[in-house]
Amino acid sequence: MSEWWTYRLSNFLLFAPRTYFRLFELYNAAIWPAQILAFALGTGLLVLLRRGGVARGRAIAGLLAAAWLWSGVGFHALRYATINWGAVYFAWLFGFEAAALLGLALSRRAAFEKPADGAGRIGLGLFLFALVVEPLIGPVLLGRRWRGIELFAVAPDPTAVGTLGLLLLARVRRRWLLMAAPVLWAALTGVSLLAMEARDWWVAPAAAAMALAAAGRQGSRRRVPGAAWRPAAR
Amino acid sequence: MRRTLTRRGFLATVAAAGAAAAVGPPRALGRPAIQAPRPGPILTRPIPSSAAGERLPLVGLGSWITFNVGDDPAARDACTEVMRAFFAGGGRLIDSSPMYGSSQDTIGYGLAKLGHPPELFAADKVWISSGEKGPAQIAASLQKWGIPRFSLLEVHNVMSWEEHLPALFALKKAGKLGYVGVTTSEGRRHDEIEKILRSQPIDFVQVTYNAADREVEARILPLAHERRIAVICNRPFRRGELIARTARSPLPAFARDIDCESWAQVLLKFIVAHPAVACAIPATSRVDHVRQNIGASYGRLPDEATRQRIAAEVAKL
């Protein structure tokens, strides 16, 4: 891209903000009543997390993979791509995350556990935020329509934030690889919403930054001799 | 040999702009639109390279952002009403690009609903780095518009213009295309545009020009005028910024002298009064706005002194 310094953020916005938020209204209408299933999936993840164990960890990873696949295909590829040709690449990003989570589900090393440290508590908090609070920000605080509510497991933003939260509770190798796509999406959606001058543009990037900081702290603790990360007692 | 046009000589021709903008009857289309009485017939300007003397109304219709509504039926119908009002007001040129998301589909939807108005001047673009893939993209664009040929095809942002222009000239020669052009926006790649204007037999050039962004006045507009290349002006309101800036400012008294009822019309007339300009292409998704915009194709145009006053007023805001 020549003369890149002359471009402003708004130059990359292909659609009007009302078109973007209307997209969620049409999407929700098209997938109804999948939203009930999505909320049940979210609460189901909490139950699985509470009970712990490898088998339930694999189930958590598998359900997260399904959520990413749904958001990638159902939202990005089939909806968002109608107004943003870049959404095809977002769909691939979500497909990559779904594949990585599916790989984790099949690996027999998928252990998720209840919060055992500060980072874990931040993770649980982020997941609950994505499941309950984040969807309400638009309709309750910003005057967007309820019909356009963005829910965990079907809409990309809460899915990414909720996944980052759960990954802070995961005891898996190469966790950074699983965190890459949600963090990247959080940055992309933040930039998009900023270009749209949406007041909640900072929510997903702030959640991702918090998750990264917590993961870094957790990782450094694990590397300190004698401070090995121990799973919570069951 | 072409005569070199000095800036002074060029500005002197501004006084004759009103004469250059001849008149033609607006054609109503479909159900009659409710609109304020127009001060006289619609103003048009000739396409300099047209052997048949084809003319364009001074205001066209852009589709950047506003027509990118996906497959939302309500929004598509709203855009169709914008197009209906545009044609009813005497408009002809609709501009789009493969880059504009679903805008081409929205235009095609609207044209089908309106029964493919014969006055349409379909302006689209080629926007792909590979010259080989250009024809396939053009075919896809035609399918989205639902029309057999484009009136005008431009190389979007001069992307791979060395590869695309020969193909577009061949289409024109074969009678499958009316005119050929290139585009840029927001002041970018002007050196390249100038090189193309000097070396290629194009019919149109599209640039950003408005009361605040006047860089093209120095070289591009005089050169286009000299080379008999029609100029289409995008971003006439700087993506709404100029309208927002004028929102709290009363309409200047001289607006009445140029038959303007709104700041939008003043801003558009600033652009289209320039003798090198063929038309401006404001984009909107509102019927009241498109009626206001097309209204700038009617009545008296500002002379050069008034254009300077408009620019000064905008600079103060």
Write out pLDDT tens, residues A10-53.
Answer: 788 999 999 999 999 999 999 999 999 999 999 999 999 998 88
Domain extent at residue B284: 43-316
How many structural domains compose chain B? Answer: 1
| C-alpha to C-alpha distance for B104 and B110, rounded to whole angstroms | 10
Q: How confident is the model at residue B137 (pLDDT cuts 50, 70, 90)?
A: very high
Note the pLDDT tens digit of each residue in A177-230.
Answer: 999 999 999 999 999 999 999 999 999 999 999 999 999 988 776 655 444 444
Q: Are the beta carbons of A196 and A20 closer than 8 angstroms? A: yes
Span of A88-92, A174-178, A198-202, B6-10 with lowest mean pLDDT? B6-10
Confidence check: pLDDT of B84 > 60:
yes
Nearest Cα residue in chain B from A13: B65
B101: which chain A residues are within 8 Å (Cβ-Cβ)?
Answer: 14-15, 82-85
- Which candidate from A2, A11, A23 shows the least CB-CB separation from B70? A23
B7 domain-assigned: no
Give the mean pLDDT of A82-92. 96
| C-alpha to C-alpha distance for B283 and B69, rounded to whole angstroms | 13
pLDDT: is A96 or A12 the higher one? A96
Nearest Cα residue in chain A from B284: A16
Question: A15 and B68: CB-CB below 8 Å?
Answer: yes
pLDDT on residue B187: 81
B32 domain-assigned: no
Is the pTM higher than 0.90?
Answer: no
Query: Which tokens sit at B204?
Result: 């149109």
Q: Are the beta carbons of B212 and B246 closer than 8 angstroms? A: no
Instruction: Please state whether the peptide bond connecting residue A231 to the residue before it is cis, i.e. omega within 30 degrees of 0.
Output: no
Note the pLDDT tens digit of each residue in B199-236.
Answer: 999 999 999 999 999 999 999 999 999 999 999 999 99
| Residue B76 in contact with partner chain A when CB distance is under 8 A | no
pLDDT on residue B27: 40
Residue to test with chain A: of B65, B105, B285, most A Cβ within 10 A: B65
Give the mean pLDDT of A70-88. 97
| C-alpha to C-alpha distance for B20 and A192, rounded to whole angstroms | 44
Confidence check: pLDDT of A233 > 60:
no
Q: Are the beta carbons of B26 and B38 closer than 8 angstroms? A: yes
Query: Which tokens sit at B117?
Result: 């108005």
| Residue B193 in contact with partner chain A when CB distance is under 8 A | no
B182 domain-assigned: yes
Residue B56, strand partner residues: B45
pLDDT on residue B310: 96
Question: B70 and A11: CB-CB below 8 Å?
Answer: no
Give the mean pLDDT of A131-147. 97
Confidence check: pLDDT of A57 > 80:
yes
Q: How confident is the model at residue B117 (pLDDT cuts 50, 70, 90)?
A: very high
Closest of B241, B249, B152 to residue B203, by C-alpha: B152
B1 domain-assigned: no
CATH (domain of B177): 3.20.20.100
Note the pLDDT tens digit of each residue in B15-58.
Answer: 444 444 555 444 434 333 445 567 789 999 999 999 999 999 99
